[in-house]
């Protein structure tokens, strides 16, 4: 582009808004030659100049963003590795909804869904109803429910660190009717952990089936698994008055069975 062409273009662009500024603008566009004379100049299109500047800025912005993202990812990884895990991270999720029964002497049934969340709970005897009256289990995870039931039983004297015969009877079943061995084992583990945390000696009995005994158990206001445990004791040769079946605690029943087994072993040795 020649000097005359540039001059005409600038005059046209500036005449409407700032005609008096033309000379100063033009002076900045003129490039002197080595001999001091003016020479033709080539002006790069505005979009090309801006494009180069934008390209440089874009590359810088992308580089800064990439570094920031990388640092953020590193921070997330570090946090995941170092932060303490929530107990819910280890929560066992049942394959089906169902319920578990806990019998200490308070006997309660806790219903849960496939997310391990308690949907309802009910007392299976008078002591169980009284125990649940002070608890709000619906909406919490089953392992939290286990902890609250344990603590409530301890508060009422059913568990104590001063005894070595603390005992719980538990079982779990699916809503479809069959026994849920995995959930039974999970509840067993949760209760044993509570005994350990409290520095208590205790046992969790979980190898009894209750469905076929429930009709008979209902006559005494107890659940089927406790009834079966009583039957086992009696079939071993132990004695327990029928009037005590509904009131005897699992701890007392477990002690009777344990002591009876020990006595039988001693007799056999002699």
The pLDDT value given to residue 69: 56
pTM: 0.61
User: Which of 164, 149, 144 shows the shortest CA–CA distance to 101?
Assistant: 149
Residue 11: Cβ within 10 Å count: 13
Is 35:8 a contact under the CB 8 Å cutoff?
no
User: Which of 203, 183, 187, 213 shows the shortest CA–CA distance to 253?
Assistant: 203
| Angle (CA) 211 261 270, round 5° | 150
Q: How many Å apart are CA 225 and CA 199, to the nearest integer?
A: 27
Q: How many Å apart are CA 172 and CA 156, to the nearest integer?
A: 24
| Secondary structure (DSSP) of 40-76 | ---PPPHHHHHHHHHHHHHHHHHHHHHHHHHHHHHHH
The pLDDT value given to residue 215: 84
Residue pLDDT tens, the chain, 270 long: 555 565 566 556 545 444 444 455 445 444 455 555 544 444 445 445 555 555 555 555 556 566 565 666 655 444 444 443 444 457 889 989 999 999 998 999 999 999 999 999 999 889 999 999 999 999 999 999 999 999 999 999 999 999 888 999 999 999 998 889 999 999 999 999 999 999 999 999 887 766 678 788 888 888 888 888 899 889 989 999 999 998 898 888 888 888 887 666 666 665
The pLDDT value given to residue 218: 84
**Hey, what are 154's tokens?**
């301890």
The pLDDT value given to residue 141: 96
Q: Token pair 């479809």 is at which residue?
A: 176
The pLDDT value given to residue 225: 83
The pLDDT value given to residue 103: 93
Q: How many Å apart are CA 91 and CA 179, to the nearest integer?
A: 20
The pLDDT value given to residue 147: 96
């Amino acid at each position: 582009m020649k000097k005359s062409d540039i001059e005409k273009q600038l005059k046209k662009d500036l005449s409407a808004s700032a005609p008096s500024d033309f000379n100063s603008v033009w002076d900045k566009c003129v490039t002197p030659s080595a001999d001091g004379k003016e020479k033709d100049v080539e002006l790069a299109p505005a979009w090309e100049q801006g494009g180069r500047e934008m390209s440089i800025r874009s590359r810088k912005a992308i580089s800064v963003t990439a570094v920031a993202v990388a640092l953020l990812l590193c921070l997330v990884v570090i946090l995941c590795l170092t932060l303490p895990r929530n107990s819910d991270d280890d929560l066992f999720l049942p394959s089906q909804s169902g319920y578990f029964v806990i019998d200490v002497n308070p006997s309660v049934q806790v219903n849960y869904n496939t997310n391990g969340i308690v949907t309802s709970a009910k007392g299976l005897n008078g002591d169980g109803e009284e125990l649940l009256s002070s608890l709000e289990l619906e909406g919490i995870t089953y392992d939290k429910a286990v902890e609250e039931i344990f603590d409530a039983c301890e508060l009422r004297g059913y568990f104590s660190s001063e005894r070595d015969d603390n005992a719980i009877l538990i079982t779990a079943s699916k809503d479809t009717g069959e026994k849920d061995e995995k959930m039974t084992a999970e509840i067993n583990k949760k209760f044993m952990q509570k005994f350990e945390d409290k520095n208590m000696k205790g046992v969790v009995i979980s190898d009894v089936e209750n469905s076929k005994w429930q009709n008979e158990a209902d006559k005494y206001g107890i659940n089927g698994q406790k009834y079966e445990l009583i039957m086992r004791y009696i079939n071993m040769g132990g004695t327990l008055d029928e009037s005590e079946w509904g009131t005897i605690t699992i701890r007392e029943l477990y002690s009777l069975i344990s002591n009876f087994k020990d006595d039988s072993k001693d007799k056999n040795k002699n």
